[in-house]
Structure 1
Amino acid sequence: MVDVTGHLGMALLFAAPAWIIWGRRAALGFTAFALVTAMLPDTDLVLRGVLPVTHHGVTHTVSFVVLVSILVGVFAARWLTAWLNSHRWIRSTEIATETVFVFATAGLIVGGVSHLFADVLSAPDIAAPLEPLWPFYREPIIVDVIYYDSPIWNFGLIAVAIVLHLILARYRSYPLETRYRIGDRSESGDGAPGHPAAGDRFE
């Protein structure tokens, strides 16, 4: 495991492709969702006080991360869709509930999986190894190239991640044309600022 700084840095690195996939505004939202679950697997440190769970146990599995992400994604789709459609900052003609679900769930999964990836790179040093693919694969996966207290890795990860996001934010990207796109075409230079191009809907 790395410390909190390292986990946040890894989540930022994992979320960086959002600038290319969705463009500027949506990338910020996607990154926020990823940061929400950057520390999700470590909820076992709290739960073990009331439940029979161990650190690097069930909460440090892809299955757990995906399940929680889907549940929160459903909640986000139910309660955030109307707010997003009424928010001027989004600049979209219409965002469907399905789009919000996919966007939120993907962001949350990215954050949680980034945590597992960082732990695989650093465990076991002061904690047990992970079985991230449980229950489908029940053997530990160990890489162990990072030490928990290494300031080079922890602060280095977040520094590199922040610089990468700033670089991607500096240049105009051209979001991929998908049914889950959020934002208008003006972000990619295809229309006048603030005015969605024809056909830019989310159906």
Structure 2
Amino acid sequence: MVDVSGHFAMALLFAAPAWFLWGYRGALGFTGFTLVTAMLPDADLVLQHYLPVTHHGVTHTFLFGAVVSLLGAVVAARWLTGPLNASRWVESTAIPRETVFVFAASGLFVGGVSHIFADLLSAPDIAAPLAPFWPVYREHVVVDVIYYNSPVWNFGLLAVAVALHVTLARYESYPLDTRFRIGERDDPRT
């Protein structure tokens, strides 16, 4: 497990491809959803006081990330679709609720996965190893190449991630013209 700055750095790195799909506003929104769940798997540190869960247990699985992401996306689609369509900040004629659902679910899931990946790189220094594929594959997965308290890894990775996002934000040829693009296309025939 890396520290909080390392988890946010990994979430930023995992969110960086959003710049290629959606450009400035979409990438910022996706990054926001990703950062929301960057620390969510560590909810087990609080839950273990009330429920029979352990650190690096069920909350550090892809199944947990998927369930939480889908539930969060339902809430986001219900409560954000109207405000997004009414906002002048979002340049689109109309964003369907399904698009908000998929966008939010993807961002939330990527944040949880980034946390699991960061923990795989640093466990079991001071914490138990993870079984991220539970219940399909119940064995622990250990990579362990980063020391938990390493400021070089944690803050260095955060500096690299922020620099990457700033660089991508300044590069003007995004987004790529794909079917996943949100909003109007330059060519009305597409």
TM-score range, shorter chain: over 0.9
Q: How many angstroms apart in 1 are the aligned matches of 2:96 and 2:175?
A: 21
Q: How many angstroms apart in 2 are the aligned matches of 1:131 and 1:11?
A: 20
Equivalent residue number for residue 42 of structure 2: 42
The alignment yields a C-alpha RMSD, in angstroms, of 1.2
Equivalent residue number for residue 194 of structure 1: none
**Is the 2:175–2:181 contact (alpha carbons within 8 Å) kept by the matching residues of 1?**
no
| TM-score, normalised via structure 2 length | 0.96
Structure 1 residue 10 corresponds to structure 2 residue 39: no
Post-superposition shift, 1:22? 1.1
Once the two structures are superposed, the pairs formed by residues 97-108 of structure 1 within 5 Å of their partners are 97-108=97-108
Q: How many angstroms apart in 2 are the aligned matches of 1:42 and 1:17?
A: 25
Q: Deviations over 1:142-184 (max 9, x none)?
A: 0000000000000011100000001100012133322x43233
Count matched residues.
189
Gaps of 5+ in 1: 191-196
**Is the 1:25–1:183 contact (alpha carbons within 8 Å) kept by the matching residues of 2?**
no
* Closer/same/farther in 2, CA of residues 199 and 101 from structure 1, 3 Å limit: farther
Gaps of 5+ in 2: none
The residue type equivalent to 2:49 in the other structure is G
SS at match of 1:114: helix
Equivalent residue number for residue 115 of structure 2: 115
Q: Deviations over 1:98-155 (max 9, x none)?
A: 1000000000000000000000000000000000000000000000000000000000
Q: Percent identity?
A: 67
The residue type equivalent to 2:90 in the other structure is I
Q: How many angstroms apart in 1 are the aligned matches of 2:177 and 2:54?
A: 41
Equivalent residue number for residue 135 of structure 2: 135
SS at match of 1:132: coil
Structure 1 residue 66 corresponds to structure 2 residue 99: no
Q: How many angstroms apart in 1 are the aligned matches of 2:175 and 2:15?
A: 17
The residue type equivalent to 1:93 in the other structure is T
